[in-house]
Structure 1
Amino acid sequence: MSRRAAVALAVVVVLAVAGLAAWRLSSSGTPLSRALALVPAETSRSSWTDWEGVRRELGSDVGRGSSAEEVDAFVSEAFGSDLTSMSALGTSAGTMQELLGLSPATLSWELLAQSDGGAVEAMGVGDDLDLSDVADRLADAGWTEPEVDDGVWVGGPDVLARLGSTITPELQHLVLLRDQDLVLASDQVAYLEAATEVARGTAAGADDLADLATGLAEPLAAAVFTGDYTCERLAMAQADADAQDEAAQLVAESGGVHPLTGFAMGLLPGGHVRALLQVEDADDAPADADARARLASGPAPGQGGEFTDRFALERAGSQGRVITLDLRARPGAYVLSDLTSGPVLFATC
């Protein structure tokens, strides 16, 4: 191959990789599903917050010029509506705003993606945020600047300790992807580098979770889990022996359920909550939908009380392998935060 041909091929490869990354951000789907396609394929649990949507839902005008106190007040108000339970940044918000200009007041969205190998915090940059300004602030605060624009800003626990005890450990190291309006952060450099390859389009993303998440439409906050994580963490095995016995009887009376291969729950605008429960075989989904609807309309062993104390079941059905339960949260109920950790009877395997 001639030198000219080799250079031309390299240019084509670079453009293809850049094009794939841009396609992942702008292609059809929902903001949540597109974000999941940007994090490692091994992700087993993810937590989403649509900060732009939260600001709109609350009628908040916080932004780049807001003080740390104003941003903390915004996050506190959002907490009261169960809109911050999926965020890794809640306790860090005011400090992040003051020191980095990067916070729930200026981000478009946030996705914390976790696996057994590590965790990455992906943050979509809003129109009110200048990543060049963020870079300057990182340098001033003690992070070591990378040699290339999209390299890792190395901080570590010592840098965070100087900034205060409220900063989440996930912000120890960061990557600023200016061409994608994206910031990635992690407490592990190696995992952050691997996650960056996914965001660049040179490694596989969490496409199975992304496909499932499309059924949530555009939630303000959401959790999306693999089947293995769901069957471990939401299962009735998390409850005491008496609750397990009660649950077994209720499941038998409902007609029985099949193991889940995926789970997602999202808080939608206006107080609606949607749960998606995916089974292995589409033929099992209609009966599972009926059974899980009955389970979601009765006692909540391990949680206490009745599920109807927390929400009203408005609709249950299935399409393909996915069962959908549409819920309306009762006033003052924290459905998303309460029912994304076990035991959850209607999500049992």
Structure 2
Amino acid sequence: MSMSRRHLLVIGAVVLLLVAGGVVWFVTSRDDEDGPGRLARAVGMAPEASARIGWIDWSGIREELDADLSAASPTEDVEEFLSDGFDADVISPSALVSSAPTLQTDFGFSPATVDWELFAQSEEGAIVIVGLPDSLDLDRVEDQLEELGYQKPSLDDDVWIGGPDLLATIGGVSQELAFITIDRDRRVLAGSDQSATLETWRDDQRGTGLDDGIAEVADAEEGALAASIYAADYACVALSMTQASDADRTRGAELVAQAGDIHPYRAYAIAALPGGDVRVAMSFETEDQARTNADTRSQLAAGPAPGQGGAFPDLFALGEVTADGTVVVLPLDPQPSTYVMSDMATGPVLFATC
């Protein structure tokens, strides 16, 4: 399947721009022994109501793929890098890929140069946040926005007005870039297709102190090159066996009954790791539930895969499943020429059943 076709299937068209170099400790630090990890800090910037979060460590992916890129790189090199990232199955959660050529030439940054990217979606709206290296000149970013036709706000932290008509003249970018705001204190730029989302964003961020399922699975996926993180309500729709055929749903129900006790999770995450491995994390209400589901869900993940086709061992080798507190972790070693990260982030996925 071609990169563009598969990416549309996995992501859909939601692109958003956030420029963030972040204070140096936020953007450049990969390990922080004294506080939340890099992924957890980024998740903390998502709106509190977020039900779906996509994380991309662009700097880590460039390192993983040995890609030597800069703001001056031609779009052909950027597209080759993204093609390699697609083949490695590490870019499916991104909201920037389809806009990468225009970002590289017109906005001055793209997946070739950004440090990280976070896409967050809720019933109230969507936002994409992208961290940029400290070397990026934010004044130059604002100059480029003005050159493109965005209306500069009177205050630094207000919203830059673009709108769908402006985006049509620019071409090659998503509606999620229609409105932009820049947080200069943290060197973060956020974009959305709704100005109201950006107007409330600073007051509605999750923060890093929440004790919920999303925070738990984000912590379990620390160090990931890419991750899809879902709250329970979203995961139960996105990964549901109701998307399977009648025969597959019947077979799935039989396998779940045979596996034993299955409890609903609080959040689900799947992540692509350096070196090619994939890791699934699920958060449960209690430690007892986690221990039980470590057994039952590992049984499901080692058997037939109704809805996906064939059996899960055709897609990955299952490592030792563990329960750490209320979080269950399933290590997956993808088989050659499979797309486990992107496939297990879309339904139906039997072992992610609610």
| Fold conserved between structures, TM > 0.5 | yes
Aligned partner letter, 1:81: A
1:145 is matched with 152
The alignment status of 1:68 with 2:64, answered yes or no, reads no
The alignment status of 1:332 with 2:341, answered yes or no, reads no
Q: Residue 32 of structure 1 contacts residue 210 of structure 1 at CA under 8 Å; is this kept in 2?
A: no
The one-character-per-residue Cα deviations of 1:146-174 (angstroms, maximum 9, x if unpaired) are 1112221110111111111x312211111
Mapped partners of 2:25, 2:275: distance in 1: 29
1:15 is matched with none
Mapped partners of 1:84, 1:206: distance in 2: 28
2:312 is matched with 307
Q: Residue 288 of structure 1 contacts residue 323 of structure 1 at CA under 8 Å; is this kept in 2?
A: yes
1:178 is matched with 184
For structure 1, which segment, 123-132 or 215-224, has the greater mean C-alpha deviation from structure 2 after superposition?
123-132
Q: Residue 144 of structure 1 contacts residue 153 of structure 1 at CA under 8 Å; is this kept in 2?
A: yes
Instruction: Please report how far the alpha carbon of residue 32 of structure 1 lies from its aligned counterpart in structure 2 after TM superposition.
Output: 1.3
The alignment status of 1:196 with 2:196, answered yes or no, reads no
Cα distance change of structure 1 residues 206 and 222 upon mapping to structure 2, 3 Å threshold:
farther
| 1:119 corresponds to which of 113, 121, 126 | 126
Q: Which runs of 5+ in 2 are unaligned?
A: 1-21, 27-31
The alignment status of 1:240 with 2:240, answered yes or no, reads no
Q: Which runs of 5+ in 1 are unaligned?
A: 1-20
Mapped partners of 1:303, 1:195: distance in 2: 37
Mapped partners of 1:52, 1:337: distance in 2: 20
Mapped partners of 1:76, 1:127: distance in 2: 27
Aligned partner letter, 1:326: P
The residue correspondences of 1:192-341 to structure 2 (distance < 5 A) are: 192-198=198-204, 207=210, 208=212, 209-341=214-346
The residue correspondences of 1:68-87 to structure 2 (distance < 5 A) are: 68-87=75-94
The alignment status of 1:344 with 2:349, answered yes or no, reads yes
Q: Residue 216 of structure 2 contacts residue 283 of structure 2 at CA under 8 Å; is this kept in 1?
A: no
Structure of higher CA gyration radius: 1
Ranked by relative contact order (alpha carbons within 8 Å, sequence separation 6 or more), the top structure is: 2
Aligned partner letter, 2:189: V
Mapped partners of 1:40, 1:103: distance in 2: 23
Aligned partner letter, 1:184: A
1:134 is matched with 141
Instruction: Please report how far the alpha carbon of residue 206 of structure 1 lies from its aligned counterpart in structure 2 after TM superposition.
Output: 8.9
Aligned positions, number: 325
The one-character-per-residue Cα deviations of 1:176-209 (angstroms, maximum 9, x if unpaired) are 222212111100000111113346xxx7579332
The residue correspondences of 1:158-177 to structure 2 (distance < 5 A) are: 158-164=165-171, 166-177=172-183
Instruction: Please report how far the alpha carbon of residue 289 of structure 1 lies from its aligned counterpart in structure 2 after TM superposition.
Output: 0.5
Mapped partners of 1:23, 1:137: distance in 2: 23
Q: Residue 122 of structure 1 contacts residue 185 of structure 1 at CA under 8 Å; is this kept in 2?
A: yes
TM-score scaled by structure 1?
0.89
Instruction: Please report how far the alpha carbon of residue 128 of structure 1 lies from its aligned counterpart in structure 2 after TM superposition.
Output: 4.2
Q: Percent of aligned positions with the same letter in both sequences? A: 42
2:6 is matched with none
Mapped partners of 1:311, 1:253: distance in 2: 22
Q: Residue 38 of structure 1 contacts residue 206 of structure 1 at CA under 8 Å; is this kept in 2?
A: no
Q: Residue 83 of structure 1 contacts residue 221 of structure 1 at CA under 8 Å; is this kept in 2?
A: yes
| 1:59 corresponds to which of 57, 62, 66 | 66
TM-score scaled by structure 2?
0.87
Aligned partner letter, 1:40: P
Instruction: Please report how far the alpha carbon of residue 24 of structure 1 lies from its aligned counterpart in structure 2 after TM superposition.
Output: 10
Q: Identify, as 1 or 2, the structure richer in helix.
A: 1
Cα distance change of structure 1 residues 206 and 62 upon mapping to structure 2, 3 Å threshold:
farther
Aligned partner letter, 1:210: A
Provide the aligned C-alpha RMSD in A: 1.9
Mapped partners of 1:121, 1:232: distance in 2: 22
The one-character-per-residue Cα deviations of 1:264-283 (angstroms, maximum 9, x if unpaired) are 11000001111001122221
Mapped partners of 1:205, 1:315: distance in 2: 29
